[in-house]
Amino acid sequence: MTALLKSLFAALLVTAGTSAFAQTATDSNGLSVGTPAQPAPYVKDTYGDWQLRCLDTGAETDPCQLYQLLMDADGNQVAEVSIFSLPAGGRAALGANIVAPLETLLTQGIVISVGESEPRRFTFTFCNPGGCVARVGFTQEEVDQFKSGSVAKVTLVPLSNPNAPVVLDMSLAGFTAGVDAIPPAPAANN
């Protein structure tokens, strides 16, 4: 008898838990209404030619990145730049994901220069169906060059025509205010 009571009690707990869950995840017709699978992205603000894009996580401070879509001379969308904060204390002051088209010559990387500064070459990290990504870190000196400049040159080399590099203008209008608006990164876990 005790085993039977234990089984009935366990069945009652399972059933009670299921109906409580079903009430929160279904509508009055018994259909699932779902819940957000991922945080919702939104544009928090615009700074010159940069957008501050964030994810609504429900936390006190949402994670955000400074974003710009780079176009070629004909107005075609070519690359994307997303700049994000990093924990203090590292060699890089800011991080960035730069997404280039799949038909980019990966061995040439991405070259970025501001004004008369020495151009810097960054390697690609991986490719996916959306493009090839270079995950880069900018030193404080490079960030200061961006802040004092008006345009950075971003150079990609097409796989189909390696002798004709594509040079894109990355506007720096609004860069300083946009960077200042990026929430600080959480401290690194050591």
Return the structure tokens found at 95. 């991080």
User: Given this model, what pLDDT does residue 20 score?
Assistant: 38
- 73-97 pLDDT, tens per residue? 999 999 999 999 999 999 999 999 9
pLDDT for residue 106 is more than 50? yes
Measure the CA–CA gap between 164 and 174, rounded to whole angstroms.
30
Give the pTM: 0.78
pLDDT for residue 10 is more than 70? no
Torsion of CA 94, 76, 42, 176, to 10 degrees: 40
Average pLDDT over residues 28-43: 81
- 115-168 pLDDT, tens per residue? 888 999 999 999 999 999 999 999 999 999 999 999 999 999 999 999 999 999
User: Given this model, what pLDDT does residue 135 score?
Assistant: 98
- State the burial class of residue 64 (Cβ atoms within 10 Å of its Cβ: 0-12, 13-18, 19+): buried
* Angle, vertex CA 171, rays to CA 166 and CA 177, nearest 5: 150
Average pLDDT over residues 96-113: 97
Per-residue pLDDT band for 18 (boundaries 50, 70, 90) equals very low
In 3D space, the residue among 83, 88, 91, 71 whose CA is nearest the CA of residue 169 turns out to be 71
Average pLDDT over residues 15-21: 37
DSSP 8-class letter at 180: H
In 3D space, the residue among 92, 136, 85, 138 whose CA is nearest the CA of residue 110 turns out to be 136
